[in-house]
Amino acid sequence: MNDASLDRTKELFRRIARQALTPSPKLTVSEWADEHRRLSSEASAEAGRWRTSRAEYQREIMDAINDPYVEDIVIMASAQVGKSEIVLNGLGYYIHYDPSPILLIQPTEAKAKDFSKERVAPMIRDSPALSERVGGFRSKDSSNTILFKSFPGGFIALGGANAPAGLAARPIRVVLADEIDRFPVSAGEEGDPLDLAEKRTTAFYNRKKIKVSTPTVKGASRIEMEFNLSTKEYYNLPCPRCGEYQPLRWEQIDFESECHRCEHCGFLSDEFDWKNQQGKWVATAESKMRGFHLNELLSPFRRWGEIIADFKKAKRKGTEALKVFKNTSLGETWEEEGTALDEETLVRRQEDYDAEVPEGVKILTAAVDVQDDRFEIEVVGWGVDKESWGIQYHVIHGDLNTPGPWAQLDEFLLKRFEKEDGRKFGIACTLMDSGGHFTQEVYKFTKPRLSRGVYAIKGESSQMSEYTPLIAGYSKPKPIEAVLVKLGVNEGKVYVMSALQVEDPGPNYCHFPRGKGYSAQYFRTLTAERLETVFIGGIPKQRWKQIRARNEGFDLRVYNAAALEILNPDLEKEYQVDHTRVRKRRRRRR
């Protein structure tokens, strides 16, 4: 090798050494995301390179993660504002740039697996800076499973807030807690899952705890409690007209023009003028915890006209839809402490029908409540968008240990109800309570009538913080093996409460006839429960409280709503059921 070649070789090695010894440039989380994050096509409508400038309000939230003086970061946000992307960018930053042991918690282990497969894995796959580091990403490897992924200097463990084993295993520097308002009150018998996770960070002086959620109910919302302990920051934009900074507030939106009114000069500016301004985060409280609030009015992915249309639709549907709107569009808690129904308002709603079955009715359902000395039955008609009409409330008294009342019940459920033009409707589905003292008798009654849509039911109680669908499952209890439908009664009660509060005829509105068994006593039993927040061991929990001795009217409405759910009919069509013909044919065959 000649001298020139030797010199070139030495210079090459010096450059390699300088590059190896030169520390990486100091990046914030937002800068890291702009340089290294790639959005995946199956998880984003805008696949490709991440751009923080697309939603500039995210920048300071992400960069707060880099502040050595901030340990807790709280994000109380609506949907469609990128809160999950903020979590993912923080995760990617730690994997690539600041390796650490990380715990990412979802409300349940099933949701943690879904999040891993649908969000984390695509991000790692499509971001080269991450796929190079996560162990065994392209092959089956014990260091890379759905709920555990290792990388040089750290790992990420994903878990569910309902699985205590995953929350108390090893020291963790970074906790990413997503949708904390959906966390159970306790992880098994171990206690509050968020507390369990936070305790795992005590070994690290540079720990980070990032808590994110859409809020739920005031007084029971974890994210609101955390936010109230924080700096309570809101993203302020300058008025396009006068330049005064302010947050975008729903109450300042003008529906007709789809503009936001300035709280200082009163001028209306459209969303494009507002969103083109350079905003800033403004704290409204002093705290070591940084807290950020976001609503959909800021989102680049939602137009104000769409949000206004969603609100109008929710208002037509009733209280429950408005609750969802306030939580998921405005990022605010819903206040329903002591939510109850006014019986006098419902009594005044009674009206005279033109016939047994009003013209808007498309199908009939029935519900049967079994008491020790009587059956209480309600028949309900359903129309388009679940508008409902009470058809008849009927009570059959008698000794249920004798066949008489059961025969009367059978005859009543075969009754056909008539419209003004003579069209007759039978009951398409009947749900019958089996939870009292006549469980086996109910099974014996319903089993041979299954072809008529007569089912036994049993309520499945659960905490209000845990979602159980209205139709929670089916079984065939021995020895009779009648079909038993399990009901999520909390979900049903919330629906009925919401529907009864709809004020104008249309979607979900409840009509009541004058007479037909709808007495003052009926309306007292219909309004016999209210939803309230109670504190148990210092933890807020919601529960239904019965405020009157009898609540048959409320229960029967829930059962009728469940019957409609089982049928799942096209409510644009009519269903003129006639079970009497089926019974006559069977008698002739015998």
Contacts of 585 (CB under 8 A, 6+ apart): none
8 Å CB contact between 172 and 105:
no
At residue 384 the predicted structure's pLDDT band, cuts being 50, 70 and 90, is: very high
8 Å CB contact between 220 and 77:
no
* C-alpha dist (Å) from residue 238 to 304, 330, 409: 18, 20, 68
8 Å CB contact between 377 and 366:
yes
CATH class as words, domain 28-232+285-294: alpha beta
What does the pLDDT read at residue 501?
86
Q: What is the mean pLDDT of residues 119-141?
A: 81
Do 344-589 and 28-232+285-294 have the same topology in CATH?
no
8 Å CB contact between 214 and 181:
yes
- CA angle centred on 380, ends 377 and 384, rounded to 5°: 165
At residue 410 the predicted structure's pLDDT band, cuts being 50, 70 and 90, is: very high
What letter would DSSP give residue 264? T
Residue 479: which of 508, 516, 447 has the closest Cα?
447
Question: pLDDT (tens digit, 9 = 90+) per residue, 489-512?
Answer: 888 888 898 889 888 899 999 999
User: Which CATH entry fits the domain spanning 344-589: 1.10.3470, 3.40.50, 3.30.420, 3.30.70?
Assistant: 3.30.420
Q: Which residue has the higher pLDDT, 357 or 435?
A: 357
Question: pLDDT (tens digit, 9 = 90+) per residue, 268-310?
Answer: 999 999 999 999 999 999 999 999 999 999 999 899 999 999 9
At residue 335 the predicted structure's pLDDT band, cuts being 50, 70 and 90, is: confident
Greatest alpha-carbon pair distance for the chain in Å reads 116
- Tell me the pairing of strands 427-433 and 148-151: unpaired
Q: What is the mean pLDDT of the chain?
A: 87
Strands of the sheet containing 427-433, edge to edge, are 471-475, 484-488, 454-460, 427-433, 363-370, 374-382, 388-397, 510-511
Examine the pLDDT at 427 and tell me if it is beyond 90: yes
What letter would DSSP give residue 278? -
Rounded Cα distance, 428 and 363, in Å: 7
- With pLDDT > 70 as the criterion, what percentage of the chain qualifies? 87
Q: Which residue has the higher pLDDT, 56 or 488?
A: 56
Examine the pLDDT at 109 and tell me if it is beyond 70: yes
According to DSSP, the residues that pair with 390 across neighbouring strands are: 380
What does the pLDDT read at residue 490?
85
Q: Token digits for 282?
A: 């403004």
8 Å CB contact between 126 and 133:
no
At residue 9 the predicted structure's pLDDT band, cuts being 50, 70 and 90, is: low
- CA angle centred on 316, ends 311 and 322, rounded to 5°: 50
* C-alpha dist (Å) from residue 248 to 154, 163, 233, 541: 40, 39, 13, 31
Question: pLDDT (tens digit, 9 = 90+) per residue, 451-466?
Answer: 999 999 998 765 555 5
Q: What is the DSSP string of 364-378?
A: EEEEEEE-SSEEEEE
**SS3 label, residue 477:** coil
Residue 86: which of 210, 222, 235 has the closest Cα?
210
Q: Token digits for 3?
A: 């001298």
Q: Which helix (H) or strand (E) holds 149?
A: strand 148-151
Question: pLDDT (tens digit, 9 = 90+) per residue, 516-570?
Answer: 999 989 999 998 888 776 655 445 567 788 888 888 999 999 999 999 999 999 9
Examine the pLDDT at 22 and tell me if it is beyond 50: no
Question: pLDDT (tens digit, 9 = 90+) per residue, 57-97?
Answer: 999 999 999 999 999 999 999 988 999 999 999 999 999 99
**SS3 label, residue 552:** helix
Examine the pLDDT at 13 and tell me if it is beyond 70: no
**SS3 label, residue 72:** strand
Rounded Cα distance, 130 and 113, in Å: 19
According to DSSP, the residues that pair with 154 across neighbouring strands are: 151
Q: Token digits for 336?
A: 């329903």
Count CA atoms closer than 13 A to 376's CA, side-chain side.
20
Query: What are the residue ranges spanned by the domains of the chain?
Result: 28-232+285-294, 237-280+306-327, 344-589
Lowest-pLDDT range, 484-493, 529-538, 575-584? 529-538
Neighbours of 23 (CB within 10 A): 5
What does the pLDDT read at residue 99?
94
**SS3 label, residue 460:** strand
- With pLDDT > 90 as the criterion, what percentage of the chain qualifies? 65
Contacts of 131 (CB under 8 A, 6+ apart): 124, 125, 137, 138
Query: Chain centroid to CA 232: how far?
Result: 24
Q: What is the mean pLDDT of residues 339-353?
A: 84
At residue 20 the predicted structure's pLDDT band, cuts being 50, 70 and 90, is: very low
Q: Which helix (H) or strand (E) holds 77?
A: strand 72-77
What does the pLDDT read at residue 21?
43
What does the pLDDT read at residue 264?
92
Terminus-to-terminus CA distance in the chain, angstroms?
110
CB-based burial label for 348 (10 Å; 0-12, 13-18, 19+): exposed
Examine the pLDDT at 338 and tell me if it is beyond 60: no
Rounded Cα distance, 492 and 470, in Å: 6
Q: What is the DSSP string of 390-440?
A: EEEEEEEES-TTSHHHHHHHHHHHT--EE-TTS-EEBEEEEEEE-SSS-HH
